[in-house]
Chains A and B, each alone.
Chain A
Amino acid sequence: DTEVTQTPKHLVMGMTNKKSLKCEQHMGHRAMYWYKQKAKKPPELMFVYSYEKLSINESVPSRFSPECPNSSLLNLHLHALQPEDSALYLCASSQQSGSADTQYFGPGTRLTVL
């Protein structure tokens, strides 16, 4: 089973709201990722967690706050977002980070910021 699940599927929020995106995998992977994807563009890496520790932050604004409560779960906390943050947010996982292991993606959360 190579399933990564994400909730919610769709999220609409105002610029003053606080919301969270959730991601879960049960493949025993030790690396988890957040990507942002705009329409007709490839995914852009935001964060990498390796063994539940943040290993890469691609200069993402502080209004995005990742959290890895355990090896199976990954959250992305959102606060005071801007309309330009509207995008498809993808979670992925792989056996290890810093290696050529295949990344498996979840279905994504479509975020709209009003």
Chain B
Amino acid sequence: EDQVTQSPEALRLQEGESSSLNCSYTVSGLRGLFWYRQDPGKGPEFLFTLYSAGEEKEKERLKATLTKKESFLHITAPKPEDSATYLCAVYGGNYGQNFVFGPGTRLSVLP
């Protein structure tokens, strides 16, 4: 069965403490994996799209990587303003025309 999971469910970091968020998927024929950031009560903000294993993309303190089974969102020297829920979504396999979202990781960065 096709699934998207994210870990950890919640993560607390001190400012400057680097870490990684995980998005694992089981889908045959992945066609795209998407990372979004969502602040409370607001719409998801697009971060990255990854299309094939080995691909990497960077933006400021964030770096996304993709393998055949999972994606990582690396956060280097985070700041309090990086606090948000990070969602991954996949497209492909048996999902037809839909994005399927993982449950998200709630990140808190403490000053």
Contacts and interface: CB of A to CB of B under 8 A. Distances in A.
Contacts of A103: 34, 46, 89, 99
Contacts, number: 57
B98 A90 contact: no
Nearest to A102: B49
Interface residues of B, number: 25
A56 B96 CA distance: 10
Contacts of A106: 43
Interface residues of A, number: 26
A34 interface: no
Interface stretch (B11-19, B61-69, B74-82, B100-108): B100-108
Given A88-B41, A100-B91, A102-B34, A45 B99 contact: yes
A102 B101 CA distance: 13
Given A41-B103, A42-B104, A105-B45, A100 B92 contact: yes
Contacts of B46: 2, 102-105
Interface of B: 31-32, 34, 36, 41-46, 49, 51, 87, 89, 91-92, 96-99, 101-104, 106
8 contacts: A90-B44, A98-B96, A100-B32, A100-B49, A103-B34, A103-B89, A103-B99, A104-B46
